[in-house]
Amino acid sequence: FNAFHPHTRKPMHRECGFIRLKPDTNKVAFISAQNTGLVEVEEGEVNGQELSIASHSIARISFAKKPHVEQITRKFRLNSDGKLEQTVSMATTTQPMTQHLHITYKKVMP
């Protein structure tokens, strides 16, 4: 994922990773590294058109800015228009679990 400032289009946040399915189950793991120095392992399940995952392990670089992320949940859903939606909620050292992001992705062809 790449996030850009909505007005200036300046790059802000990047993360990359992998989704791994446990064979013969609906169990899934999501592994992500971010340019902010955060690394997360989330686990959950695929049910129909929805993937729900929650943090299993979170690590960060020693000089990461505060507040620190303590928990993350994500839901990916393929909506009726065939577009991918993602909702991210997180808890930090100063905030309880709160929705942080909801986005609908648009497929862009190179």
- Residue identified by tokens 């800015």 is 65
Q: Where along the chain do its domains lie?
A: 2-105
Q: What is the pTM of this model?
A: 0.86
The strands making up 98-104's β-sheet, listed across from edge to edge, are 2-4, 11-21, 27-34, 38-47, 50-60, 69-78, 84-92, 98-104
pLDDT at residue 23, rounded to an integer:
97
| CA quadruple 34, 110, 103, 45: dihedral sign | negative
pLDDT at residue 20, rounded to an integer:
96
pLDDT at residue 38, rounded to an integer:
94
User: 3-state DSSP call for residue 101?
Assistant: strand
pLDDT at residue 12, rounded to an integer:
85
Q: What would the CATH number be for the domain defined by 2-105?
A: 2.40.128.20
Determine contact, residues 31/17, Cβ cutoff 8 Å: yes
pLDDT at residue 64, rounded to an integer:
93
Q: What does the pLDDT profile of the chain (110 residues) look like in tens digits?
A: 888 888 999 988 899 999 999 999 999 999 999 999 999 999 999 999 999 999 999 999 999 999 999 999 999 999 999 899 999 999 999 999 999 999 998 777 77
